[in-house]
Amino acid sequence: MKIGLKTIAASAVFAWGLAASGLAVAQTAICYNCPPEWADWASQFKAIKAKTGITVPPDNKNSGQALAQLVAEKAAPVADVTYMGVTFAIQAQKDGVVTPYKPVAFNDIPEGLKDPQGNWFTIHTGTLGFMVNVDALKGKPVPKSWADLLKPEYKGLIGYLDPASAFVGYVGAVAVNQARGGTMDNFAPGIDYFKALQKNEPIVPKQTSYARVLSGEIAILLDYDFNAYRAKHKDKANVQFVIPSEGTVIVPYVMSLVANSPQAANGKKVLDFVLSDEGQTVWANAYLRPVRAVPMPADVQARFLPAADYARAKTVDYARMAAVQKAFSDRYLQEVK
């Protein structure tokens, strides 16, 4: 659809008229993949608005959907910033849909958790495990291992996000593959596991399923510690977080400035804020691990599983994880889905 010069001029006159009359034009920044139910973005939105005056509308995409839309809109971007799992951000950089920006606290981010030029940078990390609605198990034991999920007693109770689309889904695949003896160059153990898991008729949504766990529709979800702790301590649900006995992985979640974004100045303010002491404390209060050395409130820290459990959670080569993601996704779609 073509927009005429008269329409553009009329819009400009309207905006000037608002300013002249003392009515402020709303300040917004569009963030792709910022769901209010995920990682307590809802609280972060409120903090951003209070501090900067910028409204960030909620967006329920996952990382894969966000990347696909950024690529589709490359010639005329809509988003200003994006939030993604690290592998998708590395691909976004390759696709040329993000641009370098170093927020005020950029130098405080440890090496390896940021692109040196600022194309992406970590804002918090998460540890993958089982988010379990104990009531929805109806007396069945809380699973403690990857092997437990293959038991027939959990048929119809397990959920995981689509590994071919959602970052947390791919993280789950990497975690179980590593735990069962696989490597980034050998996903056979992970593929075999998902094939076996199909006997238990898992629920495989594409978007965040926090509410579906709280409702009991999904009893066991492969998800992060921060979502499980939030469900237990903020929403007062009978939820437990389990780090599987065979091990799991820790992963960064990152943000980027969108290339040629329409409201880049507002986007930069949002990125500055989420890395500020105040923004990082919002993450800490939501049970996420802030990327900067911001003290986590003692009452929040006390609600995490013991350090002995977290010792089973390991970092991986995230660049390699990104490099093999498409090959894994193609194989999953061919052999499992």
Residue-level pLDDT at 198: 97
User: 26-337, superfamily in CATH?
Assistant: Periplasmic binding protein-like II (3.40.190.10)
pLDDT at position 19: 35
Radius of gyration of the chain (CA): 21
Q: Give 79-103 as a DSSP string.
A: -SEEEEEHHHHHHHHHHT-EE----
Number of neighbours of residue 118 by Cβ within 10 angstroms: 18
Are 38 and 227 within 8 A, CB to CB? yes
Cα dist from 51 to 47, 121, 272, 274, whole Å: 6, 22, 11, 11
DSSP per residue over 238-258, as a string?
A: -EEEE--TT-EEEEEEEEEEE
Mean pLDDT by 10 residues, the chain (337 residues): 37 36 66 92 97 97 95 98 95 97 96 94 96 97 98 98 92 97 97 98 90 96 94 95 97 96 98 97 90 84 90 92 95 93
Pair type for strands 220-224 and 121-133: antiparallel
Cα–Cα dist 70/259, whole Å: 9
Within the chain, strands assigned E span 31-32, 81-85, 98-99, 121-133, 158-159, 220-224, 239-242, 248-258, 289-290, 313-314
Q: Are 99 and 257 in contact (CB under 8 A)?
A: yes
